[in-house]
């Protein structure tokens, strides 16, 4: 049986110093940035993907949350990027793409790392959207 990872998702960007850099290097944790946004059509979606590439951001996952309706309402998507994106990239994406929501997900390998990281995040005042793997 495969052990499920521990996951913490924070609204917005991950506060500085909330994750020990050594954990990322050792493979004890992975950080992803999630962008939930609306694109008006296929051309805008293609532009989004080009923009991510231009900014040097690594696309990990892409999900369509809702499709364009017959009356032409926009397409809602979620994009998962590797790592925590910097201030400049975040502001460029938000300004240009009208990001609906930016979140950061931290995936951890064990309960001790989960406890330490969650304590750091909560003490920074960040808003935790959800956490899984607690109390195991």
Distance CA(56)–CA(35), nearest Å, equals 16
Domain 6-132: state its class.
alpha beta
What is the model's pLDDT at position 101?
Answer: 80
Residues of the chain with pLDDT under 70: 1-3, 21-27, 67-73, 95-100, 134-136
Kindly state the tokens that stand for 108: 């951890």
What is the model's pLDDT at position 1?
Answer: 44
What is the model's pLDDT at position 99?
Answer: 58
What is the model's pLDDT at position 28?
Answer: 74
Cβ pair 82, 60 in contact under 8 A:
yes
Question: Which residue, chain included where needed, has tokens 């999900």?
Answer: 63
What is the model's pLDDT at position 128?
Answer: 92
What is the model's pLDDT at position 38?
Answer: 81
Kindly state the tokens that stand for 31: 């950080």
What is the model's pLDDT at position 37?
Answer: 83
Number of Cβ within a 10 Å radius of residue 18: 22
Distance CA(113)–CA(110), nearest Å, equals 6
Q: What pTM was estimated for this model as a whole?
A: 0.75
What is the model's pLDDT at position 73?
Answer: 67
What is the model's pLDDT at position 36?
Answer: 86
């Amino acid at each position: 049986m495969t052990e499920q990872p521990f996951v913490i998702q924070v609204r917005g960007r991950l506060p500085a110093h909330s994750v020990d850099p050594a954990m990322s290097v050792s493979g004890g944790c992975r950080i992803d940035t999630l962008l939930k946004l609306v694109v008006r059509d296929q051309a805008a979606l293609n532009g989004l993907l080009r923009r991510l590439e231009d900014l040097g951001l690594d696309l990990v996952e892409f999900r369509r949350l809702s499709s364009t309706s017959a009356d032409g309402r926009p397409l809602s998507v979620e994009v998962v990027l590797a790592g925590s994106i910097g201030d400049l990239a975040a502001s460029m994406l938000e300004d240009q793409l009208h990001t609906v929501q930016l979140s950061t997900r931290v995936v951890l390998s064990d309960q001790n790392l989960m406890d330490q990281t969650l304590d750091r995040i909560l003490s920074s005042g960040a808003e935790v959207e959800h956490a899984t793997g607690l109390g195991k």
